[in-house]
A and B are shown apart, each in its own frame.
Chain A
């Protein structure tokens, strides 16, 4: 409640005409030193400083415990569980000897020894494919993208399961296991779920009633039930719908289930992206004389998918982790091989289970984090390419 109103002093002249423009000035200096950053962000006052110290000590304590278990007290060498038993009273941490002994089982499962070169070839092809995807100015990018994302997983699946005509002996999928199953299922799942999801999303927005209803059904049904149910359905009911004699492989059945489950979620995410595209884009395409599919493929989907990239990556990460549910239909994925190995009496020791799960966590995290980073890279690349 001040008595006088604010008046700038001295008063500006009522009329003014600039005789000379102001020269451009450099931006004000901001102290970017490390010490200043710490003081501004972590220790601005005593309460914040106390909180910072508390949180840091908690983090440091956790980190120390982890490091002691995983590194300091860890057992690196040994042929049996004997090495990892605390015989002389010293603390025993993670039993990496166990992982080193069984890592082949974790990767290949029970895939025949003399055929494992096929798995290795598939991994190498996959690695090369990924490197190609990360190469922004690669030649034939569009063709390469299709090859890596769609063709590689599908041919990989045939390559691994065998084809007598080209001299590759059949390897029944009940011998498959470990990381290889997880990767194949996730890769094939992503490769098939994305196109199916796009079609379902377009179908749900279609003016054709039958197409729309069918799409709504195929989206809402898998979304309305847990993945476990979908897998059971695919495992036991899919053969009932198919003509007699056509009895698809167990892994294929599971793949169909996983694909439809992921596709249902992807469809809704892509539909969200489609709704973000203004009507003017459709009108401009129509005014140029583009038909429905050309409009969708050339104009609408590139923009809609760009909006949806973060969520698409999330769904794909989820799909990768969901492969661990394949155990319940009798398929030995990566996590199940660890489950099996950790109760092996030859490796009976107190920290075996924890070691196995820690290893699983590290492997899952590196794959999922890699996918997340790749998604971020795509986002950056798209926004740069679109000049924003």
Chain B
């Protein structure tokens, strides 16, 4: 399904960022970010807290406005015509650190809400889609429960299913395992690894270096609002050309 009026060539970019800068008051949180992410690529963004990695991916789906620079998603300028932007936004799914499920809706309602109201599916169709993705994250049996009745790991899997129900082309993960008990981290990482086998573009902010090593096509290291180092994971974890990256990795337990 093409997003823009002209179909996207197979080799084109999912996300293109040019000279993107953003300030919170006087504090510059992103400083001239340049980044290209290909369609279907799995990218892990890591870096110390406050380095701007979450802000960067929140800019990609317009949760945060940015002051200067350009951002294209699937070839569409994200500060352009509202209708095009809305169309592209539908193609970007997001998984949050704190799940952000809708507590007043059951798991199934959480999953069918977007498809029904935004994609315009009938309830029947939306429930079929939801069934499919809830099975995909292995949580079908909880469909009639409410988020408050589930464990953190289960909630995050529902959140992933909810994002998938919009059948996005790009999935953004904002520290999806940081709020979870250690026992539950693995079930989420396994789910994400499983998803990575599809053609979907994945951009993950995470500190799970094992996941980065195993799944990522490229690892991006950010510090102080800038991209410091980008490399293939096998190279990234072996030789770091930047001193700051070396320090960061040395301080990680894993």
Contacts and interface: CB of A to CB of B under 8 A. Distances in A.
B242 interface: no
Interface string B65-109: 000000000000000000000100110111010101111101000
A283 B118 CA distance: 15
The majority secondary structure among interface residues of chain B is loop
For chain A, which range describes its interface: under 10, 10 to 19, 20 to 34, or 35 or more residues?
Answer: 20 to 34
Interface string B150-189: 0000000000001100100000000000000000000000
Nearest to A283: B63
A280 B106 CA distance: 17
Contacts of B162: 288
19 contacts: A278-B100, A280-B96, A283-B96, A284-B94, A284-B101, A284-B102, A286-B63, A287-B93, A287-B94, A289-B86, A289-B114, A290-B114, A298-B113, A303-B102, A303-B104, A387-B106, A387-B145, A387-B148, A388-B148
Given A287-B96, A290-B117, 4 more contacts: A284-B101, A290-B113, A303-B102, A387-B148
Contact of A290 (B100, B118, B149): B118
B61 interface: yes
Nearest to B93: A287
A289 B96 contact: no
Contact of A287 (B63, B106, B146, B148): B63
A161 B147 CA distance: 49
Interface of A: 278, 280-281, 283-290, 294, 298-299, 302-303, 306, 385-388
Contacts of A385: 104
Contacts of A302: 104
B246 to A, nearest CB: 34
Contacts, number: 62
B166 A288 contact: yes
A137 to B, nearest CB: 15
A382 B62 CA distance: 33
Nearest first, the 6 closest Cβ-Cβ pairs linking A and B are A387-B146, A284-B100, A280-B100, A288-B114, A287-B94, A289-B118
A286 B62 CA distance: 9
A299 B86 contact: no
Contacts of B98: 280
Of B86, B100, B118, B163, which is in contact with the most chain A CB atoms at under 10 Å from its CB?
Answer: B100
A285 to B, nearest CB: 8
Contacts of A303: 102-104
A298 B105 CA distance: 10
A84 to B, nearest CB: 56
Contacts of A288: 113-114, 118, 162, 166
A288 B146 CA distance: 19
A103 B48 CA distance: 77
Of A278, A287, A388, which is in contact with the most chain B CB atoms at under 10 Å from its CB?
Answer: A287
Interface string B116-151: 011000000000000000000000000001111100
Nearest to A287: B94
Contacts of B96: 280, 283-284, 287
A283 B162 CA distance: 14
Nearest to B91: A289
Given A287-B61, A287-B94, A387-B148, A294 B100 contact: no
Contacts of B149: 387
Contacts of A306: 104
A166 B147 CA distance: 52
